Amino acid sequence: MIHFAYPQLFWLLLLPFVVYFILPPVANKYGNALRIPFLKDIKNIQQEKNYLSLANHKAKASFKFFYLFLIWGLLVTAAARPQNIGEPYRLDAEHRDIMLVIDISTSMLQPDFSTRTQRIDRLSAVKAVVSAFIENRTEDRIGLILFGTQAYLQAPLTFDKAAVADILLNTDAGMAGQSTAIGDALGLALKTLRDDKNKKNKVIILLSDGENNDGSLDMAQAIELAEKENIKIYTIGVGADYVASLFNFQSNSLDEASLKELAKKTAGNYFRATDLSSLAKIYQQIDSLEPATGGKNIIQDITDLFYIPLAVALILAVLLIFVPKRFLR
């Protein structure tokens, strides 16, 4: 896209007309002509002879004016500093990489969350809150890992927030199995982030409602591995303190101790969400703890083009040397 850094300079195109109409004409090189009483008669005698000469003179004058004005216009265009503005793109060094690790085991179907009008299951609440969080992180890359018995990288780190949110919204509990392999999910997240050698601005947000009861990595091994990778991890435990069974209430199976230790060892925070409101506040708090860099990551290449009209103006000016003087009189 062509852009002019100083478009106001195009007003200078009117300068030749201002000079022509305001300033007095330059005196003839022969001085003021003598007044001859019968000059009018002489002009009448030579009128037919000079008709063609006058037309030729006007044509030369028009060509001279157009030629010089073209040079002037090119000089003004160069002074206005034309630039080619490239497409905006992100400066990768400034964004954050956020890996969302979300439990979708069958326990996430427990309906202990509620809206103003109805009760909803844990996963539905997570979908609503996390989707809003994804949309707010406009300047960051977001990745998504879903886990149950197995852990799956559903979305690699990407700026396409809509795609990540769409994958999450179309997820059903139990798709990855019925049990909970927190250790394997955390290991997969760390491996994915490790592939990028730059470890700055990397965050993992792990959400679960249970304890690590499956997979090849136990929580102790996963915590040790996370501590070595030096990546900040926020952990979220979801679910009410007690859940309804067939005949009574039983305590939630959430392993808060391990989630707290994981967050502490990686300089993160542990949060507890027992209802929809607290879950929303948690993601708002994480959003404030990891502020977006704003528009600073959007840059555009700017290429100056002033030399093009300037070079053409100089070429046209040099060509005046080779134009016969009779064409300029």
For residue range 261-308, what is the model confidence (pLDDT) as tens digits?
A: 999 999 999 999 988 889 999 999 998 888 765 545 566 678 889 899
Task: Give how far the C-alpha of residue 127 lies from the chain's centroid of Cα atoms, to the nearest Å.
Answer: 25
> CA distances (Å), 248 to each of 240, 245, 251, 267, in order?
14, 5, 10, 39
Number of H helices, E strands in the chain: 9, 15
Q: Name the phi and psi angles at 124, rounded to 5.
A: -60, -40
- Of 303 and 127, the structure prediction assigns the larger pLDDT to 127
Report strand pairing: 249-251 vs 2-4: unpaired
> CA distances (Å), 199 to each of 118, 177, 326, in order?
43, 31, 75
Task: State how far the Cα of 321 lies from the Cα of 329, in Å rounded to an integer.
Answer: 14
Report strand pairing: 141-147 vs 232-238: unpaired
pTM tops 0.75 = no
Within the chain, all domains assigned CATH 3.40.50.410 are found at 91-297
Query: Around Cβ 73, how many Cβ atoms within 10 Å?
Result: 16
Q: Which of 27-41, 92-106, 121-135, 163-177 has the lowest mean pLDDT?
A: 27-41
Report the CATH superfamily, name and number, of domain 91-297: von Willebrand factor, type A domain (3.40.50.410)
